[in-house]
Amino acid sequence: MSADRPLVSVCIPVYNAERWIAGALDSAVGQTYEELEIVVADNASTDGTVELARAVDDPRIRVERARETIGAVANHNRAIRLSRGAFVKFLHADDLLLPTCVEEMVALAREDESIGLVFAPRKVVVEQAPDPEWGELFARPHEYFGSLERVNDGRRLFRELLDAGFEANWVGEPTAVLLTRSALEHVGLLNERLFQIADLELWARIMASCRVGFVDHVLSVYRHHGESGTARNARVQRDWFDQPWLLEGLLAIPDLTPDERSRLVALRRAALRRAGRHQLGRLARGRPTAELPRYVAFRTRASLGKAPLLAPALVS
């Protein structure tokens, strides 16, 4: 490695992905930017994922198998902690990177040291999904931003998401994003209380204090299918309490303006009303969860000045 070609960590958090892992690794190994470490953070898979990953012959690949399965978001954080690069490039095991993805994203990130996040559009491939229209509906989420330049004021993008109530991820999934390690050291890792929108919450925290790079053409492939974690979470409504936790994470940003804070508080109030109605419905169906009591305990501790940290720190 050199100052001109810093190490990039391609982080692949994976669980039971024997169907796709070889393709994902081939797309990582085939990057035009060669100064890589490829960290496969296996979440105690029970299929052939680990064996297939170890069969790919490239010294830059490191397969780290967990002893027991942890949460999907926690495994993303584990992948980052196992990495050493100045830049972190996520790659989900069922997605693909186009050959110049890392090269182009790193080049942009290095144009301005205040950039903490770089993203680009992705091609959506829908495979055996219960919602085949998903690809058309969510193919170009970045177009919801008012405008995007090559280098953008992150705080402006944060406020645009705030105007929209943080109801959708306009950046895209982790495979579409490159992060700087310095940004992660500043804002922390993914909030492990979230199931579906942990990526959006992290993107927003980085936007609040960093500039954001945008490469205006497709650099990755996102595969939407019925076996994905996103689809499974949606089927069982595992993410029903995500919005209050997202808003709590954003309210912890230290330099919010009074207007930003008051608007986030109003969004939290509305999200809690919706969550309360949802919990009543779950109670009526005999399917209550511990999420609301857990949140009440968090708010109680917060009122005493003892709120637990929502975003784990990245300690280098």
pLDDT in tens, the chain (316 residues): 667 789 999 999 999 999 999 999 999 999 999 999 999 999 999 999 999 999 999 999 999 999 999 999 999 999 999 999 999 999 999 999 999 999 999 999 999 999 999 999 999 998 876 666 666 677 899 999 999 999 999 999 999 999 999 999 999 999 999 999 999 999 999 999 999 999 999 999 999 999 999 999 999 999 987 666 665 555 545 678 999 999 999 999 999 999 999 999 999 999 999 988 877 777 777 777 788 889 999 999 998 888 888 999 998 6
CATH of residue 126's domain is 3.90.550.10
The answer to whether residues 80 and 180 belong to one domain is yes
The answer to whether residues 31 and 177 belong to one domain is yes
The answer to whether residues 90 and 226 belong to one domain is yes
137: part of which helix (H) or strand (E)? helix 134-137
Domain closes at, from 219, 236, 253: 236
Which pLDDT belongs to residue 135?
64
Which pLDDT belongs to residue 281?
76
The answer to whether residues 208 and 256 belong to one domain is no
Which pLDDT belongs to residue 229?
61
Domain membership flag for residue 310: no
The answer to whether residues 294 and 204 belong to one domain is no
Domain closes at, from 221, 236, 251: 236
Find the domain containing 249 and state its range: 242-303
Which pLDDT belongs to residue 130?
64
The span from the CA of 139 to the CA of 132, in Å, is 12
Q: Which residues pair with 62 in a beta bridge?
A: 39
The span from the CA of 290 to the CA of 38, in Å, is 37
Burial label, 238 (beta-carbon count in 10 A; 0-12, 13-18, 19+):
middle
The answer to whether residues 230 and 263 belong to one domain is no
Strand 122-127 and strand 220-225: pairing?
parallel
Domain membership flag for residue 284: yes
Which pLDDT belongs to residue 129?
60
Which pLDDT belongs to residue 116?
98
The answer to whether residues 277 and 223 belong to one domain is no
The answer to whether residues 131 and 275 belong to one domain is no
The answer to whether residues 222 and 201 belong to one domain is yes
Residue among 27, 59, 66, 25 nearest 44 (CA): 66
Q: Cβ(180)–Cβ(309) under 8 Å?
A: no
The answer to whether residues 253 and 152 belong to one domain is no
Q: Cβ(24)–Cβ(48) under 8 Å?
A: no
The span from the CA of 97 to the CA of 25, in Å, is 9
The answer to whether residues 114 and 213 belong to one domain is yes
Residues counted in the chain:
316
- Looking at the chain, the number of H-run helices and the number of E-run strands are 12, 11
Which pLDDT belongs to residue 82?
98
- Dihedral-angle region of residue 145 (phi above 0 means left; psi in -120 to 50 means alpha; beta otherwise): beta
The span from the CA of 110 to the CA of 283, in Å, is 52
Domain membership flag for residue 1: no
The answer to whether residues 168 and 146 belong to one domain is yes
Domain membership flag for residue 210: yes
Which pLDDT belongs to residue 308?
87
Domain membership flag for residue 309: no
Which pLDDT belongs to residue 264?
98
Domain closes at, from 186, 214, 236: 236
The domain tally of the chain equals 2
